[in-house]
Amino acid sequence: MSTDGVTAGDHETYSLTGVTATAKPLVVGVLRETFRREHRVALVPASIAALKKAKLQVVVQAGAGTSAGFVDTAYLAVGAEVLAHREEVCSRADILLQVRTAGANADAAEADIAALRPGQAVISLCDPLSRPEFMRRVAERGALAFSLELLPRITRAQSMDVLSSQASIAGYKAVLLAAERSVKMFPMMMTAAGTITAARVFVIGAGVAGLQAIATARRLGAVVKATDVRSVAKDDVQSLGAKFIDMGLGDAAGGGGYAKGMDADFYQRQQAALSPVIADSDIVITTAAVPGRKAPRLVSAEMVRSMSPGSLVIDLAAEQGGNCELTRPWETVVENCVSIIGCVNLSASVPFHASQMFSRNATTFLLSLINDGHWAINREDEIVLGTLVTIDGQVVHPKVHELLASDAGER
């Protein structure tokens, strides 16, 4: 679908080598998030100066940042315009910055998708690999969609990596949640009433969230063990003072630093290797995820029942189905006096700093696409190739396109 001659709001659009551009400086719109318990905002006031320096205008829905600690007057003070209604922002904006939309906000995204117009762009977490059908609907609206989950793991993209920044917060908060709910204190203490032994924490998955969980638990004084199916994680775990548990399963490292999906036999052998360590732990924090697939089941109900009464399982993969057999997203399940907490969107529970980090990442990404207030998108750039999902009415990301074709074939 070409955008030649299409009018978008009060901007006349035209096609520039397949990239939508505008005759006037672009307007960036920030919406109040609608995902359940989502308290973050995609753009904080401190980031607006950089956008204005790039000759972009900014409009913000009233109250968009309030739950994260950023009030409307703070946006007004740095030159943003605050609009009372969501529809006004969608109408005025050429670019919508959101934390979660499309498949990443499946229960509430229909209204946002319906409001999109040809040539308008969305920069957000979109979950296109798990829910590709939403990206087809965005394409049908003629909008550009950049999915921040798909950023390539390259050095140049590190300052844009929202998954890593938010995972770090989730790992930190998971330990605080465990410390609050545990029947034990984390550190070893010598008291007049005797010696208190340190809590035993086991972290499954040593990616960004897992490493932050290890570091936080160690700072609180716990004895920490950790494991990962990627052999390269061993040095990182040990550098933080934790003991690495080698499961003897070989290396399951995938592309971009992620673990790859394995077969049922691998996960059965993994459970067998994990079982004795879990039984000896007071707190188990699971972080294992494979992009675009359900989280691997690593902790069985039987393994939970082997834990001591009062123990905890903190499942950071609950939104992807959970690493624990008993996990229910958003809920705490108690089995044999062991609590399994199904954490969803945990970084949103620390909304001030989570928003700051997300905003810096998203702003850096956006500015890489802009020159002098207009689009300057290089379709051959590795970052653009990795994140651009829809443009000119088409789903152009190869993986998402393949998933949609597969779904159509199955029907």
Just list the catalytic residues: 153, 158, 161, 164, 258
Q: At what angle do helices 162-181 and 208-219 cross, to 10 degrees?
A: 40
Give 266: exposed, middle or buried? Use CB within 10 Å, 0-12, 13-18, 19+.
middle
Q: Which two tokens stand for residue 131?
A: 């829910």
Provide the residue count of the chain: 411
d(CA 329, CA 232): 30
> What's the sign of the alpha-carbon dihedral 336, 342, 343, 349?
negative
CA distances from 243 to 167, 187, 226, 267 (A): 22, 17, 6, 22
Radius of gyration over every alpha carbon of the chain, rounded to an integer in angstroms = 23
In terms of C-beta density within 10 A (0-12 exposed, 13-18 middle, 19 or more buried), how is residue 325 classed?
middle
Rounded Cα distance between 323 and 287, Å, is: 8
Residue 217 one-letter amino acid: A
Query: How far apart, in whole angstroms, are the C-alpha atoms of residue 374 and residue 377?
Result: 9
Instruction: Please report which residue ranges of 182-290 form alpha helices under DSSP H.
Output: 208-219, 233-239, 264-279
The two structure tokens encoding residue 85: 């209604």
